[in-house]
Amino acid sequence: MTTWTRWFQTKRSAAATMAAVGLLPLMASCTTTRTTDGTASTYLIINSMEGSSGATPTQFSSVLASDVVTNVKGTDPVTGASTLIPTVFEDGGQVTFSLGMKDPGSSDSPTKPTSANFITITRYHVEYTRADGRNTPGVDVPFAFDGGMSITVGGSNATVGFVLVRLQAKEEAPLRALRGGGGAAVISAIAKVTFFGTDQTGRPVSVTGNISVNFADWGDPS
C-alpha cells in the first residue's frame, strides 16, 4: 500500500467518525415525552374530555361553543319590566380517566391495580393555541392558567369536572372584543389541558388532552 493510499484511508475514517459523533445531538433531540414515561407503576388514560357553555352547564360536547356574553332574562330594578341582562359565565370541562398498568399487578389480580397503584390528581394547566400560529396570550388567545383538582383514579373509571374557560378570560382581550359582533366574529382555538398527580407512593404522573373551543357571541338560549 502506498503512502498516499494510507493517508487517504486514514482521513476518510476520521471524517466518518466525526460525522457520526456530530449526529448524536440531532438524534437525541428527537425524543418525546409520553404518558408512560416516569417511575410510577401506572399511567393515566383520558377516555374522554368534553366542555359545556356556562349558559347551559349540563350540556356537554366534544367541541365547546364558548359564549363571550349571554343575555339572561331578568327584571329591570327601576321599572319592574322584563328585560335582558348581559351576563358572563365561565365554561366547564368534564374529563373521564382510567388507569393503565406498566407491569402486572398482584399475583391474584395481575391485570388490576392495587391501592398503591392508584393515582391522585391534584392540579391541571390549561393553555390555548390557534391553528394559524397566532398564539400571543391576551392578544390572540386567552391567558393560560392553573387550577386545583382532587380525585383519585383507581380500579374503575373516574369522572371529574373542571374550569375550561375562566370568567376573567371573557372580561379581557381578546374575548371581550367579540361581544356584540365587535372585532372578529369568532376565535377558534385548541385548549390543551395537562393533568398532574402522583401515585400513592408519591411518584409523579401527568397526562395531556386537547379539546376544540370556538369563542363567539353565540345566540342566547331561550
| Three-state SS at 149 | strand
Distance of alpha carbon 184 from alpha carbon 174, whole angstroms: 9
Specify the residue for cell string 437525541.
28
Integer angstrom CA distances of residue 29 from 32, 214, 222? 8, 34, 53
Domain ranges in the chain are 1-31, 34-216
Amino acid at 65: A
Give the pLDDT of residue 110: 59
As given in the structure block, the three cell numbers for residue 14 are: 476520521
Distance of alpha carbon 190 from alpha carbon 173, whole angstroms: 17
Q: Exposed (0-12), middle (13-18) or buried (19+): which is 96, by Cβ within 10 Å?
A: middle
As given in the structure block, the three cell numbers for residue 124 are: 391541571
**pTM of the predicted model, to two decimals?**
0.78
Cross-strand bridge partners of residue 137:
141
Average pLDDT across each block of 10 residues of the chain; the chain has 222 residues. List them in order.
Answer: 43 41 36 53 94 96 96 87 92 96 64 84 98 95 98 95 98 94 84 96 95 94 74
The torsion region of residue 206 among left (phi > 0), alpha (psi -120 to 50) and beta comes to beta
As given in the structure block, the three cell numbers for residue 10 are: 486514514
Give the pLDDT of residue 112: 73
Give the pLDDT of residue 37: 60
Give the pLDDT of residue 188: 96
Give the pLDDT of residue 214: 97
Q: In this structure, which CATH number among 3.30.1370, 1.10.3470, 2.60.40, 1.20.58 belongs to the domain 34-216? A: 2.60.40
Give the pLDDT of residue 12: 44
Cross-strand bridge partners of residue 222:
none
- Nearest Cα residue to 70 out of 192, 217, 207, 168: 217
